Amino acid sequence: MEALNAQSLILLVDIVDAGNLSKAARKLKMSRANISYHLTQFEQSLGLQLLRRTTRRIEPTEVGLKLYQHGCVIRDELLAARESVDSLGRGLHGSVRLSLPTGFGHLIMSDWMIEFKHTYPDIALDVVFENRIDDLLREEIDIAIRVMSEPPLQMVAHELCRVHYVICASAQYAREHGMPERLEDLPGVPLITSTVDGRDLRLSAYQGNERQEILLKPTLASENFQFLREAILAGLGVGLVPDYLVSSAVAEQRIVLALRDWRLSVFGTRMFLLRMPGRYQTLAARTLIDFTVQRVRAWAQS
């Protein structure tokens, strides 16, 4: 069937991956009308509907999904062949767009990314510090690290480690105001923690078979974890933060902990590496994934 060619299949893949014609047009640097025309010509030549169009996005039909899957294989083989040709006589190279959470990314992973660049100087890294999930689609992110309860169903997720939260305050604050002794005390203290996008801040606490949930209202909130750490050290209140944020200050006795018998969960306690399932992974991306998984798991065991 002459109408069934590689170029048309790859166009179908780009449209489905983008989610709608406008995003596909931006990605391919074509007009939306041009994209729509080629898709219509492809469907008419086959005599089949490949995509269902809604007001917000498009979904493949049954036959469209089968052709999409074949198109992914063809696209990936072409990309792999191009990568092999480009790498002849050269070291490992390419580009990777990586999204890191604002806290763990800045405080822990920044040094790892610098180490990676020293090791692989010809791989171009574009590092974004962001806590949202939808940016993988919106910004064409190759790899993202996120802390959450459960990974999104539409993404490929590799669990890396657990993240532990602590109740803490500066030693000076503890001397002057005391530390919360019960979970019920937390709503009455000036709370320093990360922001929650338009949602109530609910703390889940576990001790043995007991579980409690408490609604909290921060008096100081930010996505800048370095700022949160400085605010806690300045004695502005009681922090609810990941333990890695204050571990060195705890060891130096500048920060003290409270309610240590409770296991706390507020923003999720599992760290995942996320990627989109239909996106081709270059050798550069696979190398960065292996490097990141190794570093995170070694850090979690230290």
Is the pLDDT confidence value at 220 over 90? yes
* H-only helix segments in 153-242: 171-177, 225-233
150: Cα separation from own chain's centroid: 12
Residue listed under structure tokens 């041009």: 34
Q: Can you list the domains of the chain with their CATH numbers?
A: 6-87 (1.10.10.10), 94-163+270-301 (3.40.190.10), 165-264 (3.40.190.290)
Which of helix, strand or coil describes residue 220? strand
Which of helix, strand or coil describes residue 186? helix
Measure the CA–CA gap between 60 and 49, rounded to whole angstroms.
Answer: 9
CB 152 within 8 A of CB 272: no
Pull the structure tokens for residue 17.
Answer: 């991956």
CB 208 within 8 A of CB 256: no
Predicted confidence at residue 196, as pLDDT, reads 67
Chain mean pLDDT for the chain: 86
Choice between 294 and 279, residue whose per-residue pLDDT is larger: 294
Q: How many CB atoms lie within 10 A of CB 188?
A: 9
- Summarised one tens digit per residue, pLDDT across range 74-98 is 887 777 777 666 666 566 778 899 9
Predicted confidence at residue 36, as pLDDT, reads 84
Counting Cβ atoms within 10 Å, is residue 254 exposed (0-12), middle (13-18) or buried (19+)?
middle
- Summarised one tens digit per residue, pLDDT across range 130-181 is 877 765 655 678 899 998 888 888 788 999 999 999 999 999 999 999 999 9
CB 112 within 8 A of CB 292: yes
- Summarised one tens digit per residue, pLDDT across range 167-216 is 999 999 999 999 999 999 999 999 999 876 666 788 889 988 889 999 99
Residue listed under structure tokens 């002057």: 176
Residue 165's identity, in one-letter code, is Y
What is the rounded radius of gyration, in angstroms, for the C-alpha atoms of the chain? 24
Predicted confidence at residue 26, as pLDDT, reads 83
